Amino acid sequence: MSQAEGAAGAAGSSAEGAARERTGSAAEGAVRAGAGRNPLWTFGILRSEFATTLRRWRTLALLGVLAAVPVLIGIAVRIETADGSSAGAGGGEGGPAFLSQVTNNGLFLVFAALAATLPVFLPMAVGVIAGDAIAGEANAGTLRYLLVAPAGRTRLLLAKYAATLGFCLVATLVVAASALAVGALLFPVGDVTTISGTTIGFGEGLVRAGLVAVFVAASLTGFAALGLFVSTLTNSGIAAMAATVGLLITVQIVDTIPQLSAVHPYLFPHYWLSFSDLLRAPVYWDEVLKNLELQALYAAVFGSAAWARFTTKDITA
């Protein structure tokens, strides 16, 4: 019991804390706390969600794959340019954007890796996490225990979405950090030539790279909400993950069909690669903002749908 007393004593100067200390029982303290609970306690679930997500082997494997992509690109470019030719010079349009600049400046590997992972790898990883968010808990039966804890359906859903967004950011930063390390190791680094042709210092280049990473993470928020909605529709984690990733692939294909160009501006991946506009001087904001608006729209629509579905659903799993 001394542990609880110590904890209460350390945190508490309030009368409530003192009363709790006097009782000398952790259990007893808890029941009283029910009356005067701290609103901050409600965020405990958020930390728990995020930590639980990151402790799964599956999450670590996904992050491992994401970290490996820049390594592969870096090594490939290095081998290909060993004879002095420049990468992608022949094909031009063949590889991901920024590939040809990598040999001159390792920092460009960050942009090349993000451009390479954004269409498929990154959203696929997010789709796995988002799709599994509710359905996976339902599948394991843990959902009913979280709800009788009581986590609160809205609170649990918000925590799940927040944890998924956290994963978007972590995943993007893993790609960027891995690319930066590999780029610095295999290629020279230095002043950055922007797309507009101007030159900025390496320090500012790094800032731009960070900005791009955060923007890429933000690009995934709409898709994350979509995945969360799918996750509320089924009790099978695998089905939800497969459906979410399937949706991603379908939308990506639709986005490449010229005859369907009328719907393209409404597809969530349509403006994803606009992050390159952040490397112009001055920054060209038009499509960047369009992308953010579109993501906010998707998050609002599918977030509401997920909420409507989850708060009225019979939990039979």
Partner 1 sequence: MAGSDAGTIGQPGAPGTAPVIETRGLTKRYRGGQLAVDGLDLSVPAGSVFGFLGPNGSGKTTTIRMLMGLIAPTSGTASVLGRPMPDASRRVLPEVGALIEGPALYGFLSGRDNLLRYDRADPTADPRTRAARVGDALERVGLAPAAGKKARAYSLGMKQRLGLAAALLRPRRLLVLDEPTNGLDPQGMREIRALVRELAADGTTVFLSSHLLDEIEQVCTHAAVMARGRLLTQGPVAGLATGGRLVVTTPDPADAARVLKEHGVTGITLDGDRVRADAPPGTVELADLNAALVRGGVRVRAFGVERASLEDAFVALTGEGFDVAG
Of 139 and 295, CB closest to partner 1: 139
Of 25 and 250, CB closest to partner 1: 25
Q: What amino acid is encoded at 64 in this protein?
A: G
Q: How far is the CB of 49 from partner 1 (least distance, A)?
A: 9
Q: At what angle do helices 221-233 and 121-140 cross, to 10 degrees?
A: 30
Q: Please state the φ and ψ torsions of residue 200, each to the nearest 5 degrees.
A: -120, 155
> Which among 56, 180, 173 is positioned nearest to 122, based on CA atoms?
173
Of 11 and 289, CB closest to partner 1: 11
Which residues of the shown chain bind partner 1 in the complex (CB under 8 A)? 1, 3-4, 7-8, 10-12, 20, 25-31, 33-34, 37-38, 41-42, 44-45, 47-48, 52, 55-57, 140-142, 144-152, 155-156, 312, 314-316
Burial 274-288 (b: 16+ CB within 10 A, else e): bbbbbbebeeeeebb
**Cα–Cα distance, 103 to 187 (Å, whole number):** 6
Q: How far is the CB of 24 from partner 1 (least distance, A)?
A: 8
Of 109 and 240, CB closest to partner 1: 240
Q: How far is the CB of 54 from partner 1 (least distance, A)?
A: 11
Q: How far is the CB of 299 from partner 1 (least distance, A)?
A: 24
**Cα–Cα distance, 303 to 136 (Å, whole number):** 18
Cα angle, residue 295 at apex, residues 308 and 246 outer, rounded to 5°: 75
Q: How far is the CB of 89 from partner 1 (least distance, A)?
A: 47
Of 81 and 236, CB closest to partner 1: 236
